[in-house]
Amino acid sequence: MRSDILVIGGGIIGLACARELARQGRRVEVVERLHAGSGASIAAAGMLAPLAEVPKPGPFLEACRASRDLWPAWIAELSAETGLSIEYDASGTLLVAHEADEEAHLDKVAHAAAAVGEAAEEIHHDRFREWVPDASPGIRRVLRLLGDHRVDNVQACAVLAAAALAAGVTLNYDVDVERIELLDGGGAEGPGVRIHVRGGAPREADHLVLATGAWSGRIPGLPLLPVRPVRGQALLLQGVEWPWRGCLRSRHGYAVRRGATGLLIGATVEEAGLLAQPTVAGIASLLAFTRHTLPGLDATRLDTLWAGLRPATPDGLPLIGRLPGQPVWIATGHFRNGILLAPWTAREIARQMTGQEPSGEAAGLSPSRFINLPMESEAGSGYTVHS
């Protein structure tokens, strides 16, 4: 049975879009190469950090802020739909500075916060030490960003998959898409897409949503999307008993609470192809950050190591919107902000797929900025696929 919409990619973006579209009455099928909520979605730290990540006023910061604002209600909906909880913390982010250039960065973030009306406050040394007793005495300044929150993204992915199912989405794991074929509408079914998968029958749908993260530049049958993998390594410490339950970051890394006594340390930013593995130099750099910033954790248990692949674009901004002239919508390239932008991306994709114009926050995110295609208004117009 042909679906209305086929979503390729069962990460947080694909699942969020699938659930949103199914709730609007569409028949939605998700195909995922591994399992729902894999890849960068579970490798991420779960920071919802518009200011620390995008300290520059403009439409993209507005998209990040809008998505941050959507998160609490989104969690409430997902929990109501599934009966499952998701850890969310609104304590904020402590941006710390050791050296002069880090102080300049704090000033920049504080100015961006003031410009857009986000709360930021200087934290006195004594209060900081009470919150984060393992911190370095060499930290000379601490800025608390009250609007940079965190969510347990591993929980969120699992709950989102359950919510998608509850909304009627069909989830197919272990489906390796080999090629996408755009249908010209000459057949009985009209225009649409067909995907060819390894070791299985082709699948068809009227529309396609591509949410394949770091793998988005590699699926034959679509115009080449300029998405490349950027590796991030991270590690998890266990046994951390701070009063502070939010995030802490400097220019050199971050520390994010996870669960009762966990502390996630991240992350490297490396061009290493699709090799998602922790390395000697990567973990050494994370431990160097940890020991420099949080020397009180020297004897703390190092529990787990991992790596994920961020989907990066040439201008650092996501690709969100329709592929010109085709029944294909792109939702990828979120780089470091995929968790943050998931609810907003789902809303934006659903908006555009119902024929509305892109929102103002989506200005500059259209995939057409990188794709040299004839702009056509009609779907299935005979555009030839070169794979």
Where do contacts with its own copies occur on this chain (CB under 8 A)? Answer: 237, 272, 277-284, 287-288, 290-291, 297-302, 305
Nearer to its own copies, 155 or 233 (CB): 233
Task: Look at residues 370, 73, 35, 302 and name the one whose alpha carbon lies nearest to residue 176.
Answer: 35
Between 1 and 280, name the residue whose CB sits nearer to its own copies: 280
CB 27 within 8 A of CB 172: no
Our CB check for its own copies shows the closer of 166 and 305 to be 305
194, 204 in Cβ contact below 8 A? yes
**273 Cβ contact partners less than 8 Å away, ≥ 6 residues apart:** 229
Minimum Å distance from CB 293 to its own copies?
A: 11
Between CA 131 and CA 248 the distance in angstroms is 11
Structure token pair of residue 21: 């579209």
* Nearest distance, CB of residue 278 and its own copies, angstroms: 5
Nearest CB to its own copies, comparing residues 39 and 343 = 39
Q: How far apart are alpha carbons 309 and 295 in whole angstroms?
A: 28
| CB within 8 Å of 99: residues ≥ 6 apart | none
Cβ 233 to its own copies shortest distance, Å: 9
Which C-beta is closer to its own copies: that of 238 or that of 368? 238
Q: Which is nearer to its own copies, 184 or 303 (CB)?
A: 303
Q: In angstroms, what is the minimal distance from the CB of 291 to its own copies?
A: 6
Q: How far is the CB of 285 from its own copies (least distance, A)?
A: 9
Task: Work out how close the CB of 45 gets to its own copies at its nearest, in angstroms, rounded to a whole number.
Answer: 17
What does the CA dihedral 290, 291, 296, 298 come to, rounded to 10 degrees? 100
DSSP E strands in 160-278: the ranges are 170-172, 177-184, 191-197, 203-210, 228-238, 247-250, 253-258, 262-266
